[in-house]
Every structure is written in C-alpha cells, then in structure tokens.
C-alpha cells in the first residue's frame, strides 16, 4: 500500500530543520564533489519520523565514520555487505514486537515509532548483498533500501561491479588491446527488485531534488518493502570534475541513460524531465553529452572506438523504449 497524499517539500523549511538537527554533519571524508553526500542529506530531509539507518560497507560508511569521528546524528549502524538488508529486517521486526508487548511503554528514552532505511552501494546491492535484499523483500519487511549507484566498487579502488556500465574504464576492466573498458552492460537491478512484487520502487537523481525528496518520502510512507535506485556521480572513479557532479546527474536523465520513474504496485509512471522527453522525443539528448564529461569513457571518443558510443546509444534507446511501453506511451 502506497500513501496517497503527495508531500510538497518546502526548501526553506527543510533548510531550517536540517540546521537544527544536522542529521549528517560536515567533516566526513567523502571526496570533494561526491554525489553520495547529496543523497544521504536528501534521504534525511525526507524523513517523517525518527530514522534508524543501516549502512552496508562502502564509501559512505567508511568516509562518515572514520574513528573516532562520526557524521551521524541519527542512530546508525555499519553492517557487512551481505547482511545489511537482513539487519534492517531485524530492526524493523524488533520495533513491531516491542511495541506489541508494550516493552518500553512510558519510557521517555525509547522511541519505537521509527522508519528503517538501509543504504548500500552498487557493489553491495547488485552483487554482494543481493540475497539478503531479496529475502527482506520476500518477507515483506517495512524497510526502505536505497542503492547509491556510483557504478563500481569505489572504496577499494574502482573495481567493476554488476552496476558498471558498458565501456567504462575501471581497474579490473582496463582499456587495452583485449578489452576496452567493461564489455558487458548493467544488470537490470530495478527489474529484479520490481519482480519481487514490492509496493514501491523508484529511480532518483539528486539533481532533481523535488522529485527525489517526494520519492524518498513516499518510500518512508509505504507499508512494505521499498527500493530506491539513486544515481551517484563519483568524481574520483569517473574521472569527472568535482564541480560537474550535479550537471552529470542532470545529463544522465536528459539523455535517458538514467530515466526517472516510479513503480507503484506494479504500475510504471515516468516522473520529472523523463515525462517531457516521453512527450517530446526531440528533447532526448545524445549519450555523448553525458559520456564526454567523464574520463572513464574517454577512449570511446577515439575514431576507431566510435562503435562503442553507438552500442551504448543503442542500449539506452532499447531500455528507454521498453520503459515507455511499460509506462503506457
């Protein structure tokens, strides 16, 4: 069941609340211009209740909790890749059980009315943590799992994952004579999650902050498992300029490399700029505009590798066509 009323985020109010609560404090060690820093702030902005935050290993976890420092002013726990969604399930089940037996009734120090958010990177989600997520979704836990997708194992030095796109240079898919970046395409993670029959799934680009906040809030309000796929520019791993992080988040949507949509009880609905592109196909920009800002795709612009850009474009077009059909265009 998905909540019906749509929340309208008021940027001024959000800034005042963040200023008071400082859920994610400055001083973390994410790289300058890291997209994940924007995502974690936006998740906290969209909270309607106190949060319990479960974090799989990865850049966010490492950089926000380098001992003895922590950026978190919300209850937060680090977990292995494999069990992040399982820990989220347990925290949610405990809340229900403790409330049922009135274990802490009247105790001013204990709040049982909280939302559970589980955050994982692409390595933690497409690959290592997949089975725990699948189990949590099958058991219908009320958790929101957010994937921040920077398209490689960044924290250990840019190794390819199931989320790395075609052509991208990583340290395990180098550009040389045998291969030219990753030869394979991204795993269809949204399709896999939607196939679990969960009540709410959505894609999010933090550049479209209003769209992102509404989806995160909707995720918190949904009575059941939620999956959010968030696009996370990584200047270090992508070879992009730190100041271009939000620009790349916009171009990913404008080129349909990362369309914005939500799936509510199985029904697909485009959102944000993806709606206007569906209605006016000339607004769809060529993938080159997205690729050219990133060093990881630089080799694709050599004349002899032109086929790679064409192949990338074909894949994007095919994915977009499928999505359009599903969304009723």
Partner 1 sequence: MSTPMVGWKDLPMAAVPFLSAKEYPTGEWAVFQPKIDESKCVKCGLCWMYCPDSVYRWDGEGVPVPDLDHCKGCGICAVECPTKAIEMVRI
CB-CB neighbours of 243 under 10 Å: 10
Q: How far apart are CA 224 and CA 83, in angstroms?
A: 19
Please identify, among the stretches 20-28, 116-124, 179-187, 215-223, the one whose residues bind Mg ion according to the rule CB under 5 A: 116-124
Torsions phi, psi of 54, nearest 5?
-110, 130
Give the total residue count for the chain.
329
Q: Which residue is nearest to Mg ion (CB)?
A: 121
Q: Is 20 a binder of partner 1 (CB under 8 A)? A: no
Helices marked H in 231-305: 235-238, 245-254, 273-279, 288-291
Torsions phi, psi of 61, nearest 5?
-60, -50
CB-CB neighbours of 102 under 10 Å: 9
Q: Which does 236 bind (CB under 5 to 8 A by kind): partner 1, ligand TPP, ligand SF4, none?
A: ligand SF4
Contact letters for ligand SF4, residues 50-79 (x by CB under 6 A):
---------x---x----------------
Please identify, among the stretches 174-182, 214-222, 235-243, 254-262, the one whose residues bind ligand SF4 according to the rule CB under 6 A: 235-243
Q: Which residue is nearest to ligand TPP (CB)?
A: 121
Minimum distance, C-beta of residue 314 to partner 1, in the bound complex (Å): 31
Nearest Cα to Cα of residue 219 among 26, 39, 38: 39
Q: How far apart are CA 87 and CA 75, in angstroms?
A: 14
Please identify, among the stretches 4-12, 49-57, 84-92, 230-238, the one whose residues bind ligand SF4 according to the rule CB under 6 A: 230-238
Nearest Cα to Cα of residue 81 among 171, 191, 155: 155
Show contacts with partner 1 in window 201-230 (CB under 8 A): 206-207, 209
What are 16's two structure tokens? 């005042």
Q: Which does 155 bind (CB under 5 to 8 A by kind): Mg ion, ligand TPP, partner 1, none?
A: ligand TPP
Q: Is 120 a binder of ligand SF4 (CB under 6 A)? A: no
CB nearer to partner 1: give 7 or 315: 7
Q: Which residues bind Mg ion (CB under 5 A)?
A: 121-122, 150, 154
């Amino acid at each position: 069941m998905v909540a019906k009323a749509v929340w309208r985020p008021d940027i001024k109010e959000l800034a005042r609340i963040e200023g008071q609560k400082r859920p994610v404090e400055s001083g973390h060690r994410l790289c300058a211009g890291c997209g994940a820093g924007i995502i974690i702030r936006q998740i906290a902005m969209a909270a309607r209740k106190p949060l319990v935050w479960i974090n799989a290993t990865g850049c966010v976890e490492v950089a926000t909790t380098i001992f003895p420092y922590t950026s978190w002013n919300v209850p937060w726990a680090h977990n292995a890749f494999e069990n992040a969604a399982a820990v989220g399930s347990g925290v949610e089940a405990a809340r229900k059980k403790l409330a049922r037996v009135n274990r802490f009734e009247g105790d001013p120090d204990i709040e049982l009315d909280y939302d559970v958010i589980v955050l994982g990177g692409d390595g933690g989600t497409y690959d290592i943590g997949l089975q725990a997520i699948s189990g949590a979704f099958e058991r219908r836990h009320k958790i929101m799992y957010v994937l921040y997708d920077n398209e490689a194992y960044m924290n250990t030095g840019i190794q390819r994952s199931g989320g790395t796109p075609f052509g991208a240079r990583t340290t395990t898919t180098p550009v040389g004579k045998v291969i030219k970046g990753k030869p394979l395409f991204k795993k269809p993670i949204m399709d896999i999650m939607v196939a679990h029959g969960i009540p709410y799934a959505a894609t999010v680009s933090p550049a479209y902050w209003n769209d992102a906040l509404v989806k995160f809030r909707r995720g918190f309000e949904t009575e059941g498992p939620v999956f959010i796929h968030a696009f996370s520019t990584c200047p270090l791993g992508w070879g992009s300029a730190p100041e271009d992080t939000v620009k790349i988040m916009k171009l990913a949507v404008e080129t349909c490399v990362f369309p914005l949509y939500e799936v509510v009880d199985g029904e697909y609905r485009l959102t944000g700029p993806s709606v206007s592109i569906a209605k006016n196909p000339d607004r769809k920009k060529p993938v080159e505009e997205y690729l050219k800002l990133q060093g990881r795709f630089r080799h694709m612009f050599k004349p002899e590798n032109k086929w790679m850009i064409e192949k990338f474009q074909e894949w994007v077009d095919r994915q977009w066509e499928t999505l359009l059909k599903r969304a009723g265009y």
